[in-house]
Structure 1
Amino acid sequence: MSTVEAIIIAIVEGLTEYLPVSSTAHMIFTSSILGIQEDNFLKMFEYCIQFGAILAVVVLYWKKFFDFKKLNFYIKLVCAVIPALILGKLFSDKIDAILEKPIPIAIVLVIGGFILLFIDKYFKKPTVFKEEDISIKQAVVIGFWQCLAMMPGTSRSAASIIGGMQQKLTREVAAEFSFFLAVPTMLAVTVYSLTLKKWKEGNIEMRGYEILASNSDKLGVFLLGNFVAFIVAIFAIKFFVGVIKKFGFKIWGWYRIIVGILLLVYFFFYQES
C-alpha cells in the first residue's frame, strides 16, 4: 500500500466513521477498487485507522471526556462497551473471514439502507433529551445493539444510534452517545489489534506492534493514515450532526441502498471478469 493509497483510505474512513453507512465497508470497497493487495497489514490498518477518527470525538467533546467530576458518564461507557469486548473476542476470526468477501457486505449495506428509511417514523416519542438522563441499563442495551456492527456493512454508528432511539433517546442524543461509545470501543479494537492479535507476515506470525516496529515504511503509513482520518473526521462529525437535526436518517438510507447496489453490480462483474 502506497502513501497515496493510505491517504485515500484514511479520507474515506474519516468521512464515514460517524455516518450510518459503515466505514469498514467503504474502506474495503475503496482498497478493492484501488487494486491494493489484500494482506494482513491492510486489515490491521483498516481496523486501527478507525481510532484516529475516533480521537476527533475526544477533541470536539473534550469538556465531556475530561470532566472527571461526572463519574457516571464513564461508568455508562464502560458498561456499554463490555458486550462488544466479549463478543468481539469470541468472533474475531469469523469477522476477519467476512472482510474478505465484499458481496455479502454490499448486501448488508442495502438491507441497512431500507431499515434507515423508516427509523425516524418508527421511533417517534423519545423521552431522553440529554446524555445525563441515560440510565446504565439503557447504555448496556445500546452496547448490545452496537454488537450488530460486527457484521461489516452494518455500521457501528447506525447500530448504536438505532439502539439509542429504541431506548427512547432523541436522534441527536443517540448520535452523540454513539460518538462517545465509539471511543472505548475502538480503543479496545486498536489495542487488541496491535498488542494481542497475531497477524501473519509471510510464514511468520507477528503482533501488530512488531510489524510496525520491523518496517519503517509501514509505520509511517500507519501514523499518517491515523492523522488524516483524525483531521477529516472532525469536519465529518459537525456535518453529520447538522444533517440528522435537519433531515433525519432517510437520506443515509437512500445513500446506502444506491451505493450498495452499485457495488454489487461492480463486484459481480469484477469477479466474473
Structure 2
Amino acid sequence: MDLFQTIVIAIVEGLTEFLPVSSTGHMIIAQNLLNVESTDFVKAFTVIIQFGAILSVVCLYWKRFFRLNHAPAPEGSTRLQQLLHKWDFYWKLLVAFIPAMVLGGLLNGVIEDLLGNVVVVAVMLVLGGVFMLFCDKWFNHGSDTTPLTEKRAFNIGLCQCLSMIPGTSRSMATIVGGMANGLSRKRAAEFSFFLAVPTMLAATCLEVLKMILKGEFASMAGSDNVFTLVLGSVIAFVVAMLAMKWFVGFITKYGFKAFGWYRIIVGGIILILLLTGHSLAMVD
C-alpha cells in the first residue's frame, strides 16, 4: 500500500469501527475501490489498525474502564464470589468475550476465506440494513437501571459472533444484543465499546501469532511496514475517538434507522455494480 491508500483505509476504519455499518466491510470496499491487493500484510493491517481504533475507548472512557467494584459483597459470599464481585466489570467482559474467542478459534479459516469477498459484504450490508429499520421498534424497551448479569453479558457475546461475517457489523450485533437483553441504547453502545477492547486485542494477537508461525513476521516487520502500521493505527485512533463521541449522542436521540438506510443504499449500489459486470476499482 502507498501512503494515500494507508491514510484512506485508516480513516474509513476510524469512522466505521463504532458505527453499525461494518468497519471490516467498509475496509474491504475501500481496498477494492483503491485497487489494493489483498496480500497477507494488507489483511494483517486491517486487523491491527482496528485495535488502534479500539484503544480510543480506553482513552475516552478510562475512568470507567479501569475500575473495581468497591461496594461490599453480599453477606455470606464465598472467596470466589467476593473476588468476582470486586472485579465485576472485567468478569462480565470476559463472559461476553468467551463466545467470540471459542467460535473465532474454531472458524478462523472460514472467516479468512470470507474476508475480501465483496459480494458477502454487500449482501450483509443490505440484510443488516433492513433489520435496522425495525430494530428500534422491536428492542427499544431497555432501561439504564437494568443490571448487566452474566447471562446478559454472555448473550451479548453470542450476538457478537454474528459479526464474524464481513458486512454484519460487530457494533450493530452487540448493541442490538444489549438492547434485546434489556439495556438502554446508550448502555448497550457503551458496553459494545468496552467489549471491543478484549475482542480486538485477541484478534490482533492472533494475527501476529499467525505471521510468526508462518515465518512472515520478520519480513513484514521491515521499516516501511512498521511505519504503515503505526500511521494507520494512529489515524484510526484519532478518527474513532471523534466518531464514537458523536455516535453515542446520535443513536440515543435518533436510533438506528438512518444507518439502516445507509447500509441498504451502499450494499444495493455495490450489488448492482457487480451484477452488471462493473469493477469497484477506481484506480488501476
What TM-score do you get using the length of structure 2 for normalisation? Answer: 0.89
Stretch deviating more after TM superposition (247-256 or 97-106): 97-106
Give the corresponding residue for 1:270: 278
How many Å separate the matches in 1 of 2:237 and 2:280? 37
Instruction: Choose from 236, 245, 251 the match for 1:244.
Output: 251
Give the corresponding residue for 1:75: 91
2:54 and 2:200 in contact (8 A); partners too: yes
Are 1:129 and 2:137 an aligned pair? no
Stretch deviating more after TM superposition (142-151 or 260-269): 260-269
1:40 and 1:199 in contact (8 A); partners too: no
Structure 1 residues 199 and 44, CA, compared in 2 at 3 Å: closer, same or farther? farther
Structure 1: which 4+ aligned runs deviate by more than 4 Å? none
Are 1:94 and 2:106 an aligned pair? no
Give the corresponding residue for 1:166: 180
| Structural RMSD (CA) | 1.8
Matched residue SS, 1:206: coil
The count of aligned residue pairs is 264
* Identical amino acids, percent of aligned pairs: 49
Listed as ranges, the matches of 1:1-273 within 5 Å are: 1-69=1-69, 71-126=87-142, 128-130=143-145, 133-195=147-209, 197-198=210-211, 205-207=214-216, 209-213=217-221, 215-268=222-275, 269-271=277-279
How many Å separate the matches in 1 of 2:151 and 2:140? 21
Matched residue SS, 1:270: coil
CA offsets 1:124-154 (integer angstroms, 9 cap, x no match): 422x4158x2111100110010000000000
How many Å separate the matches in 1 of 2:268 and 2:92? 38
Matched residue SS, 1:79: helix
1:130 and 1:173 in contact (8 A); partners too: no
Structure 1 residues 199 and 109, CA, compared in 2 at 3 Å: closer, same or farther? farther
Structure 1 residues 216 and 85, CA, compared in 2 at 3 Å: closer, same or farther? same
CA offsets 1:15-43 (integer angstroms, 9 cap, x no match): 00000000000000001100112211111
How many Å separate the matches in 1 of 2:89 and 2:122? 35
Q: Specify the code of the residue in structure 2 equivalent to 1:206.
A: G
How many Å separate the matches in 1 of 2:205 and 2:218? 13
2:141 and 2:179 in contact (8 A); partners too: no
How many Å separate the matches in 1 of 2:254 and 2:215? 46
Q: Specify the code of the residue in structure 2 equivalent to 1:255.
A: Y
Q: Specify the code of the residue in structure 1 equivalent to 2:15.
A: L
CA offsets 1:76-118 (integer angstroms, 9 cap, x no match): 0011101101110111111111113211210011000000000
How many Å separate the matches in 2 of 1:199 and 1:150? 23
How many Å separate the matches in 1 of 2:138 and 2:235? 37
Structure 1 residues 124 and 100, CA, compared in 2 at 3 Å: closer, same or farther? closer
